[in-house]
Structures are given as structure tokens and as C-alpha cells.
Amino acid sequence: MLEKLKNMQECYWLNENLTSNLEYELNAKGIQAKDIEDARARLNRFAPLLKVLFPATLKTNGIIESPLECINTYKKELEKLENVEIKGDVFIKLDSHLPISGSIKARGGIYEVLKHTESLLLEHKLLSLQDDYTKIIHLKDFLSQYKIAVGSTGNLGLSIGIMSAKLGFKVSVHMSNDAKEWKKQMLREHNCEVITYQSDYGKAVEEGRKAAQNDKSCYFIDDENSKNLFLGYSVAAKRLKGQLESLDITINENRPLYVYLPCGVGGGPGGVAYGLKTVFGQNVKCFFAEPTHSPCMLLGLMTKKHSEISVNDIGLDNKTAADGLAVGRASKLVGKVLEHIIDGCFSVSDENMYKFLTLLHKTENINLEPSALAGVKGLIFNKELKNTHPNALHLIWATGGNMVPKNEMEKFIKEGEKYLN
Ligand SMILES: *Cc1c(COP(=O)(O)O)cnc(C)c1O
């Protein structure tokens, strides 16, 4: 497997160390299943404020949530293209269309900013939990004394930057070399400070962390270790259950759920997977998808070295078109929390992400960024899974794309054309 990873071949790894006591394992690593409820309640307290600050959230009553759609037309075309049979239905979770920042980061990133805001205001007796949170609009001057910093490949910076600036905070975003120019531009338009590095994500985080250490008024959002980010993501699970129920779908042993999550540092997919396991138990299987150039989570789990090993250590360059996934070293937190919970990981080539992107555009008229297509490969790899249920519900977690400028999207689609004979 290590040889395959080194040669950038697509790999499929199944976890042989799954727990036999899921409930115990979910609560054994410093995060408790009940913490998700606390995060959910906090997001509900902020919903009235979000409605005022971001009219795009009016349609969902201030809740940042994305649509769920069935894409069986795509499934049929993919079966033809790849010459495979995919058993069961294929759905897509369109986090690409989440309000405010158009990616999965609108869950974790925004949640952590809100949690920090609430803590500050409670501490200074400017807010109580029973208040109408729309009053926070009038506390901008107070919040402008404080700063928020983050390191990012692009999307986390975008979500944290937009939210923090809107509340009044000063913001510094430390961007890695893969960050797209339009993302930096958008942040500058929101009056965020953008600091760019010629190196990768790990360096951007390190520099952000350092800058914040020397400034007491600065709060650093640490994507490599943050429980808050993780919990913000995890809230998705219970809401997904509600969405499935509204379609008269109940997940059980006769209708198991298979979820394919694009993975960078691990917080986003990790938080969602953790949430899904608390809601659906053994009836959900979660798989992480990574680029062949940056399979940091697969490497960390497989070797049990987690954040102690980077893809550079096995000679990989961490350069991929999937900029949201260009992470060379996995989160310290996530690998440990999920080591006996996550069902598997696989890696995907950039060419395949582009190919899946263009096929989705053509068959369903859904436009995503390359990272968001990584999970599609799971539908094909899963023929190797021994007991794939004929009645399974497969869910592609589409993690970003809605804010990509039109000309960039056209380039993506054109690139994918090359691989669709
Ligand atoms: C950040 C991101 C991911 C993965 O989230 P991590 O927390 O970095 O693992 C997946 N897709 C997109 C589009 C992203 O921006």
C-alpha cells in the first residue's frame, strides 16, 4: 500500500481496527456525543442574527444548511463510463451551496467564530443566553477591539473572514500557496488582511499561530486541533436525518447509508462522520477521499502515526488541483478520535476529479470545485467492499463550488472534457 501511495496510484484502505463498542468509542477521546447538541443549540441562538446579517439565510430561517438531492441519472452515466455496477441509490449533499461561503467550511468555520463571539460577550456581560442575539449588530465597536486569525488553503479563510468581518472583528488570513487569487480578492473586499506564503498549508497555519501568540487580543482558529470546528461540522448529521425522513427514507440495516467525504486536514469530514455515527450508529459507513498527491489522513491512519507523518516524508509533493484538500499532514485531533470509527479511506487522481466534475455538470447541471468530486471514486471502489447492500443509499458529500467565478468554472469543465472520451 505504501508503495502504491508513493507512486501516486489510487488506493483503497479499509479500517481493520473498527471498534465493537461504538458508543464507548464515540465518547472516549475527549469529545462527547452530547457536545453536538450544545453546538446545535448555539447555532439556533444565532439564527436570528444570521438572518439579519446574511439575507441568503432567510430561506432557511437563519440556519446554515444545504440541499440533499438524488442523482441517479449521474449514477447511470458513471456506470457506463467506468464500466461498473453501483448497487443502490446515489444522493448528493450540496454543501457547495451553503450560504455565506459556498463550502463545507460554512459549518465549522462560522460555528467557531460564533462560539468565540458568544464567549467574549458573555464574559464582558454584554449578552446573556436568553437575549435576542440580533442585539449583537450593535456591539460591532466592542468586537472591533479583537482580532481573529486563521491559516487556510482558501475556503476556511473565506468562511471565517467573511463572518468575522461582518461581526466587526479585525481579521488576518494566512494563505498557503494553493489559495486561489479570487478567494484572496474576495477577502480583501471584506476588509480582511490577507497574508500569503510561498509554502503549503502547514506553514500557513504555523505562521498564523505564531502571529496570534504575540497578540492577546487575537484569537487563532486552529484547523489542525480545534474541537470547536469539529463540533460545528458534526451538527450536519441530525439535520441530514431530518432531510432523509422528509423523503420517507429511514436508515437501518436494510437501508444502510454509505457516505463519501473529501478530506483535507480532517476536521470537516471528521466532524461530519463523527456526527453521522452518533445518529445512525452501525448503519452508516463513512469513507474519506483524498488526492493521490496529498493522502495525509490515509497515511496517518494506516501507519498509526497520524500527525507525526507527512506526505512529504514518503516523497509526495502535496500539489493538487483540489486546493481544498492540499494538506500534507493530518489533524492531530481527528485521526485519534476516529481511528476505530472511520470505515475507510481512498485516494483519487486529479484527472478523475475533473472527469467526475464535468460529468456531473453535463448530467445534473450541478457545478462543483474539483475537491468536491473526490468522493465519487468511492462509488467505484466500493465494488471491493464485500457486503455492499443492494439497497444501500450512497451519499456524495459535495464540499464546495458555488462561489467559484464563472470563467474558472468553465476552465474546470473544459479540463474534465479531456477525460470523457
Ligand atoms: C476544507 C475542504 C474540505 C475538507 O475539509 P478538512 O477539514 O480540511 O478536511 C473538503 N472540500 C473542500 C471544498 C474544502 O474546502
Residue 192 belongs to domain with CATH number: 3.40.50.1100
**What is the model's pLDDT at position 387?**
58
pTM (two decimals): 0.97
In this predicted structure, the answer to whether residue 220 has a pLDDT above a threshold of 90 is: yes
Residue 291 and residue 372 in one domain: yes
Report how far ligand 1's centroid is from the alpha carbon of 29 (Å). 22
Is ligand 1 within 6 A of the CB of residue 372? yes
Give distance in angstroms: CA of 396 to centre of ligand 1.
14
Give the C-alpha separation, 3 to 170, whole Å: 46
For 35, half-sphere exposure in the C-beta direction (CA atoms, 13 angstrom radius) is 20
Pair 305, 416 in one domain: yes
Which residue, of 225, 252, 284, is where some domain finishes?
225
By three-state DSSP, how is residue 381 classified? helix
CA of 333 to the centre of ligand 1 (A): 15
Q: Are residues 178 and 295 in the same domain?
A: no
Nearest Cα residue to atom 14 of ligand 1: 324
Q: Which pLDDT score is estimated for 382? A: 75
Which of 166, 198, 225 is the last residue in one of the domains? 225
What's the pLDDT score for residue 191? Answer: 95
Same domain, 258 and 390: yes
Q: Indicate if 292 and 277 belong to the same structural domain.
A: yes
Instruction: Give the three cell numbers for residue 287.
Output: 469513507
| Domain shared by 67 and 137, yes or no | no
In this structure, the answer to whether residues 347 and 363 fall within a common structural domain is: yes
Query: Tens of pLDDT along 15-60?
Result: 999 999 999 999 999 999 999 999 999 999 999 999 999 999 999 9
Residue 155 has pLDDT above 80, yes or no: yes
Q: Are residues 322 and 336 in the same domain?
A: yes
Q: Is 335 in the pocket of ligand 1 (CB under 6 A)?
A: no
- Given this model, what pLDDT does residue 385 score? 61
Number of domains present in the structure of the chain: 2
Ligand 1 binding pocket mutation candidate from 112, 173, 399 (most atoms within 8 A of CB): 399
- Lookup: cell for 110: 462560522
3-state secondary structure of 77: helix
178 band by pLDDT with thresholds 50, 70 and 90 = confident
pLDDT digits (tens, 9 = 90+) for 359-415: 999 999 999 999 999 999 999 987 666 557 889 999 999 999 999 999 999 999 999
Dihedral angle computed from the Cα positions of residues 308, 10, 408 and 53, in that order, rounded to the nearest 10 degrees: -50
Q: What is the pLDDT of residue 313?
A: 98
Give percent of the chain above pLDDT 90.
94
* Same structural domain, 115 and 213: yes
Percent over 70 (pLDDT), the chain:
99
Q: Would you say the CB of residue 155 lies under 6 angstroms from ligand 1? A: yes
96 & 175 share domain: no
| Confidence band for 350, pLDDT divided at 50, 70 and 90 | very high
pLDDT band at 421 (very low <50, low <70, confident <90, very high): confident
Place of cell 486552529: 222
Residues 248 and 395 both lie in one domain:
yes
Residues 51 and 9 in one domain: yes
CA 154 vs CA 56, 187, 204, 245: distances in Å: 21, 10, 11, 34
Residue span of the structural domain in which 166 resides: 105-225
Domain end among 225, 256, 274: 225
The residues that bridge with 288 in the sheet, in sequence order, are: 261, 345
| Ligand 1 centroid distance, CA of 268 (Å) | 6
Q: In the prediction, which pLDDT does 390 show?
A: 86
pLDDT digit string (tens) for 255-266? 999 999 999 999
